[in-house]
Amino acid sequence: MTDASMQNAEPGRHSVSLMATDEHTRKRARAEKRFRAYGIVAIATGLFFLVVLFTSILKEGIPAFTRTVVSVDFTLTEQQREESEGVLLKTKAYSDLFITALKSKLDERGLNTEVDEVAIERLLGKVGGTIRTFYTQNPDKIGEQIEFDLAASSRVDGYFKGRVSRDTIQDSRFLQKSDLELVDALEEAGIIKQAFNWPFITGADSGVDNPGGAGIGASVIGSFFMMLVVLGLSLPIGVAASIYLEEFAPRNRFTDLIEVNISNLAAVPSIVFGILGLAVFIQFMHLPQSAPLVGGLVLTLMTLPTIIISTRASLKAVPPSIRDAALGVGASKMQAVFHHVLPLAAPGILTGTIIGLAQALGETAPLLLIGMVGFVARGYPDGFLAGFTEPNSAMPAQIYTWAARADAGFYEKAWGGIIILLMFLLTMNIIAIILRRRFERRW
Amino acid sequence: MNDMSRVEKQVDTKDIKLDCRDCQVYYGDTHAIKDVSVDIEDKTVTAFIGPSGCGKSTFLRCLNRMNDTIDIARVEGSFKLDGEDIYDKRVDPVQLRAKVGMVFQKPNPFPKSIYDNVAYGPRIHGLAKNKAELDEIVEKSLRRGAIWDEVKDRLDAPGTGLSGGQQQRLCIARAVATEPEVLLMDEPCSALDPIATAQVEELIDELRSRYSVVIVTHSMQQAARVSQKTAFFYLGNLVEFGETGQIFTNPEDPRTESYITGRIG
């Protein structure tokens, strides 16, 4: 052995003090420091943009959660109802009745008695329809005094939220400079006030000229039914496919081809799935247009590769010794997989599924092609099964629709919708993390 | 060495449990096992020794068809368990593995309770009619695995929480729970410290009274201590097979002698 030679210093070897670092070591230390600095800069940049994103979303979106309401006591008599129903423009008739009531109220209080009906009409949103719907649904309320909280028109709402000011306002049929005096007076009288915008969270989309009445609730329901379809189809199909490919399928050229294709499918642009869904599900299979069922089917196609890839990864991560152990005591392959491998892979599968669902929840492009955009969500579906087939929108599609509309009130709604969508996504991700923590087992 | 004393014991001629003739194993194009013929006797400990990669584990895995799970592995030759060919088309490997149990190199308890680890085999084979019978099997197996006293108060604790040596004895208990006739052990002590190794070896000697035990080991001392028969594998060939005392004291083949004396391997 070389024990003897170790004792004597080898010839040609300089004795170097450990106290002084040599040039080579310094160079490496500098490189390491630089690399750390890059990393910190990268993270800081990421965080900065995240903060910018969140502040801008919150700043633009928070106003969507408050609304300006005109609160008026109103009584509809049976005779008035009959007269209104008798004319051609029914909602206009109701609207006129309401404006008259409001005006008389103003007169009582001695406020701006010179304002005309047209000015009041400009302050209110589309009140006639709301009132008529209320009395159609609650005919027993006719004759009673009801306090209506009606959404003010978009411009008035904008005046309260700072979108519209005396300097920027231009006289138009929507709102005139002189109207703002009336608005201020009404606010003092407590007739116009700010309130939490429940209809935004629970309501359905409104027409293009009525941003005050627009709500995201119906499209939340649409998204919910789509997610049910996606979960119900992609989880069993995806998990079954992954188990077969990972545990049972022979390794040959054909399965290699399938593997490559699944990886490629995960990278296919979502709009391609949309046009596929349009061609197959709607034009060929004649499933209802704009239905969450079709949306769910399209999103299932999109989510499957994600679920298959993550499921296979988590199956692969289960140590082979567990399979050996099960086979060694005489378990069949299927028993080994279902009794031992699958429970160990479950946290990974669940996480992958939830991430896939979250991705599907935020997907807009394929929904454009199957008609889930535009003014489709008129209200809640009638019952559970109808939820799958009745035309509806989905959250991201609804946001897209609002963002595309002209009225600034809708722009604000779009940001508010984004906040709600992000809340759902955040919740799903938190659930994924909790599930992973909860079911993770060490061995 | 007093280790050798056990080897000197009289070895009775016993029934042949597993009769392997002209066995070949291929991994793809690699010929891993060449013309191996071994008779494994009942109620005997047979040790397979040899350097790494010589095919002893591969051969062991042929005996309960664990190589079936490897796609590229191909096995030829005749393997007869009590005269029945285990590679016959009619044989279900699941049934075979209930008869030929296996203990692996790395202790691999299921990440479940100690009780469930042992009860798993009997459950899937339907060996117990009710909970009481299952309890009995679990206790009996854990006693045979020489671990009952250490775990009887915490049967609900996870099997993965035990120490390495305890885990391996738990795995042995799990393997004997299905009442196998042959017990295959693939380097059962390589991950264990000397004390745990001694416990497992003692256990192997006890198991010999009921089972035919085949053990693959890297340690020649271990082979000498626990086995009655020893097979020396080298580069996929069975070089020498005979009584352990004979192999270690008076080997016929020069390669065996070189390996035992530490010149190769």
The CATH number assigned to the domain holding B226 equals: 3.40.50.300
Q: Cα separations (Å) of A101 from A114, A146, A334?
A: 15, 12, 75
**Per-residue pLDDT, A442:** 55
CB-CB under 8 Å, B66 with A324: yes
**Per-residue pLDDT, A77:** 81
CB contacts under 8 A, A 248-267 vs B, are 250-251
> What range does the domain containing B215 cover?
4-108+182-260
Cα–Cα distance for residue pair B22/B15, rounded to 1 Å: 20
Query: B180-219 burial, b for 16+ CB within 10 Å, e for fewer?
Result: bbbbbbbbbbebbeeebbebbbebbeebbeebbbbbbbbb
Shortest CA distance from A250: residue in chain B: B71
Domain map of chain A by residue range? Answer: 24-62, 66-196, 217-439
CB-CB under 8 Å, B177 with A443: no
Q: Locate all alpha helices (DSSP H) within A110-252, ordered by sequence.
A: 117-123, 127-137, 154-161, 177-189, 198-202, 217-243
Beta carbons of A277 and A294 less than 8 angstroms apart: yes
Cα–Cα distance for residue pair B209/A381, rounded to 1 Å: 73
CB-CB under 8 Å, A250 with B120: no
**Per-residue pLDDT, B5:** 47
Instruction: Decide if pLDDT at B126 tops 80.
Output: yes
Question: For residue B217, what is the DSSP state?
Answer: -
Partner residue opposite B104 with nearest CB, options A250, A321, A340: A321
Does B115 reside within a domain? no
Min Cα distance B213 → chain A (Å) is: 15
* Residue whose token pair is 């009794």: A339
- Give DSSP secondary structure letters for A41-88: HHHHHHHHHHHHHHHHHHHHHGGGGEEEEEEEEEE--HHHHHHHHHSS
A247 token code pair: 């545990």
End-to-end CA distance of chain A: 42
Edge to edge, the sheet with strand A145-151 lists A145-151, A66-75, A192-196
Q: How many CB pairs under 8 A join A and B?
A: 70
Beta carbons of B184 and B64 less than 8 angstroms apart: yes
Cα–Cα distance for residue pair A22/A18, rounded to 1 Å: 9
**Per-residue pLDDT, B9:** 46
Cα–Cα distance for residue pair A2/A372, rounded to 1 Å: 80
A331 touches B at CB < 8 Å:
yes
CB-CB under 8 Å, A250 with B110: no
- DSSP-assigned beta bridge partners for residue B213: B45, B183
Nearest to B108 by CA among B20, B206, B185: B185
A344 touches B at CB < 8 Å:
yes
**Where residue B170 falls among pLDDT bands split at 50, 70, 90?**
very high
CB-CB under 8 Å, B102 with A328: yes
- What are the chain A neighbours of B181 within 8 Å (beta carbons)? none
Cα–Cα distance for residue pair B235/B137, rounded to 1 Å: 41
Instruction: Decide if pLDDT at B7 tops 50.
Output: no
**Per-residue pLDDT, A5:** 46
Query: For the ranges A113-127, A365-379, B46-60, B109-123, which has the lowest average pLDDT?
Result: A113-127
* Residue whose token pair is 């209809």: A199
**Number of separate helices (H) and strands (E) present in chain A:** 20, 3
Question: For residue B192, what is the DSSP state?
Answer: S
Nearest to B177 by CA among B131, B134, B129, B141: B141
Does B68 reside within a domain? yes
Give the CA dihedral B135, A335, B79, B179, nearest 10 degrees: 0
Q: Within a 10 A sphere around the Cβ of A213, how many other Cβ atoms?
A: 22
**Per-residue pLDDT, B2:** 47
Q: By three-state DSSP, how is residue B230 classified? A: strand
Number of domains in chain B: 1
Does B43 reside within a domain? yes
Partner residue opposite B125 with nearest CB, options A327, A330, A442: A330
Query: For the ranges A193-207, B5-19, B167-181, which has the lowest average pLDDT?
Result: B5-19
* Residue whose token pair is 């009289």: B10
Amino acid at A138: N
Does B137 reside within a domain? no
Cα–Cα distance for residue pair A341/A321, rounded to 1 Å: 10
Partner residue opposite A443 with nearest CB, options B71, B101, B111: B111
Q: Which regions in chain A score pLDDT beneath 70?
A: 1-14, 111-115, 117, 125, 173, 375-378, 441-443
Min Cα distance A435 → chain B (Å) is: 18
- DSSP-assigned beta bridge partners for residue B24: B76
Q: Within a 10 A sphere around the Cβ of A59, how many other Cβ atoms?
A: 10
Shortest CA distance from A442: residue in chain B: B111
Does B153 reside within a domain? no
CATH 3.90.25.10 fits A217-439, yes or no: no
Partner residue opposite A325 with nearest CB, options B64, B69, B110: B110
Cα–Cα distance for residue pair B34/B24, rounded to 1 Å: 5
CB-CB under 8 Å, B69 with A323: yes
CB-CB under 8 Å, B110 with A322: yes
**Per-residue pLDDT, B241:** 92
Does B38 reside within a domain? yes
Beta carbons of B20 and B38 less than 8 angstroms apart: yes
CB-CB under 8 Å, B121 with A329: yes
* Residue whose token pair is 């009582």: A108
Higher pLDDT, B117 or A91: B117
Min Cα distance B110 → chain A (Å) is: 6
CB-CB under 8 Å, A327 with B124: no
A-interface mutation test, from B95, B117, B120, most A Cβ less than 10 A away:
B120
Cα–Cα distance for residue pair A96/A139, rounded to 1 Å: 20
Instruction: Decide if pLDDT at B199 tops 60.
Output: yes
B-interface mutation test, from A329, A333, A338, most B Cβ less than 10 A away:
A329
User: What is the CA A157 to chain-centroid distance, rounded?
Assistant: 24
Query: For the ranges A21-25, A279-283, B139-143, B184-188, which has the lowest average pLDDT?
Result: A21-25
Min Cα distance B105 → chain A (Å) is: 9
Min Cα distance B257 → chain A (Å) is: 25
User: What is the CA B203 to chain-centroid distance, rounded?
Assistant: 12
Q: Cα separations (Å) of A178 from A114, A157, A172, A175?
A: 12, 16, 11, 8
- What are the chain A neighbours of B125 within 8 Å (beta carbons)? 330
Q: By three-state DSSP, how is residue A295 classified? A: helix
CB-CB under 8 Å, A250 with B71: yes
**Per-residue pLDDT, A113:** 57
Kindly provide the ipTM of the predicted complex, given to two decimals.
Answer: 0.84
- What are the chain B neighbours of A441 within 8 Å (beta carbons)? 111
* Residue whose token pair is 């116009």: A192
* Residue B16 φ/ψ, nearest 5 degrees: -85, 125
**Using one digit for the tens of pLDDT, what is the confidence trace for B208-224?**
888 899 999 988 889 99
Shortest CA distance from B160: residue in chain A: A443
Higher pLDDT, B40 or A21: B40
Shortest CA distance from B102: residue in chain A: A328
Shortest CA distance from B123: residue in chain A: A331
A-interface mutation test, from B70, B92, B108, most A Cβ less than 10 A away:
B108
Does B83 reside within a domain? yes
- DSSP-assigned beta bridge partners for residue B214: B46, B184
**Per-residue pLDDT, A187:** 81
A-interface mutation test, from B27, B67, B97, B183, most A Cβ less than 10 A away:
B97
- What are the chain A neighbours of B177 within 8 Å (beta carbons)? 329
Residues 6+ apart with CB under 8 A from A213: A125, A126, A130, A151, A199, A203, A206, A207
**Per-residue pLDDT, A50:** 95
CB-CB under 8 Å, B106 with A327: no
B123 token code pair: 């459950």
